[in-house]
């Protein structure tokens, strides 16, 4: 009922671990598969290790998270080791994830991560928490997206998905530019910029002051982004942002997503959220007499 084909790769269900959740170790990624995910996305990797921003970097609220981790990661060398280990533990689809500061550097790290047994490559051009280091996210610029997509496409041995920002006012045009430049898929979306202030301390709660908002509060924004992108491109979409329930996941598919990224739900519902969400999806599908996800993909556009 939930089996999904994405770029000629079979997934037992459409749920994939979103990038940035539960680290980059083989054991943690495999644990997600054991708890019901159809595939996993590794935390975004850079050429060199990054410590990220000073604490506090992540604060939970009732309906959302705010974070400014700062793309902390162990660097490409260590990441490749863990990705190789993961594939020895599981044959589930593995999505690599990268970020860089220039189109040329994106090409360089693409070549390196393709040494690992990844099935797809997600290209993070949209993190909102490192603007002081990298400037405005590339995801706001059509020309930047074109350059990066072409740079990655030339070097990649696997299909690529460009990860876009909900902050982009022209997200449909950005998606079109990625598609025209060779992207095989779109990941929509990253977190949206926000801020929280502690009124007792009289200062922002994050050391970085601003951060990315994820969790249920992001869901309706992400859903509209997926809906708009589906109208603009023919390539498949990984719908990500605030998905917490089976109803959320089905709504993403009805908006046009093929795969559904799940991240902060791990905090709100536990690591077994994947099994809970798929069970809820199946229950709703039985009630609605839906036999397969292909029946409802993009149906909200009818």
Catalytic residues: 127
Alpha helix segments (H runs only) across 163-203:
171-180
DSSP string covering 42-87, please? PPPB-SS-B--SPSP-EEE-SS-EEE---S-B--HHHHHHHHHHHH
**Residue 62: exposed, middle, or buried by beta-carbon count in 10 A (0-12, 13-18, 19+)?**
exposed
β-strands 210-214, 192-195 pairing = antiparallel
Positions of E strands within 143-273: 160-164, 185-188, 192-195, 197-198, 203-204, 210-214, 237-240, 259-262
Q: Write out the two tokens for 59.
A: 């604060």
CA-to-CA distance for 75 and 252, rounded, in angstroms?
Answer: 32
**Residue 287: exposed, middle, or buried by beta-carbon count in 10 A (0-12, 13-18, 19+)?**
exposed
CA-to-CA distance for 142 and 177, rounded, in angstroms?
Answer: 6
Give the N- to C-terminal CA distance of the chain in Å, as an integer. Answer: 22
CA-to-CA distance for 4 and 246, rounded, in angstroms?
Answer: 16
CA-to-CA distance for 172 and 230, rounded, in angstroms?
Answer: 8
């Amino acid at each position: 009922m939930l089996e999904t084909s994405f770029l000629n790769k079979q997934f037992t269900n459409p749920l994939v671990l979103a990038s940035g959740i539960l680290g980059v170790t083989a054991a943690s990624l495999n644990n997600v598969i054991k708890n019901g995910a159809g595939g996993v996305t590794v935390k975004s990797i850079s050429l060199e290790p990054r410590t990220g921003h000073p604490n506090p970097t992540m604060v939970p609220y009732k309906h959302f998270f705010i974070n400014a981790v700062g793309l902390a990661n162990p660097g490409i060398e260590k990441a490749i080791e863990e990705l190789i280990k993961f594939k020895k533990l599981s044959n589930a689809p593995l999505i690599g994830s990268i970020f860089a500061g220039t189109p040329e550097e994106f090409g360089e790290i693409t070549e390196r991560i393709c040494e690992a047994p990844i099935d797809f490559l997600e290209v993070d051009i949209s993190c909102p928490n490192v603007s002081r280091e990298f400037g405005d996210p590339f995801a706001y610029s059509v020309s930047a997206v074109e350059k990066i997509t072409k740079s990655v496409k030339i070097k990649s041995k696997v299909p690529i998905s460009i990860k876009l920002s909900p902050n982009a006012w022209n997200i449909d045009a950005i998606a079109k530019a990625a598609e025209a430049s060779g992207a095989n898929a779109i990941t929509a979306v990253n977190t949206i910029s926000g801020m929280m202030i502690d009124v007792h301390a009289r200062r922002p709660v994050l050391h970085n002051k601003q951060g990315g908002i994820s969790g249920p509060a992001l869901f309706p924004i992400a859903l509209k982004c997926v809906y708009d992108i589906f109208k603009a491109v023919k390539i498949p979409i990984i719908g990500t942002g605030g998905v917490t329930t089976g109803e959320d996941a089905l709504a993403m598919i009805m908006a046009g997503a093929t795969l559904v990224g799940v991240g902060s739900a791990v905090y709100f519902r536990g690591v077994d959220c994947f099994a809970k969400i798929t069970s809820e999806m199946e229950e709703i599908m039985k009630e609605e007499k839906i036999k397969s996800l292909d029946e409802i993909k993009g149906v909200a556009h009818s």
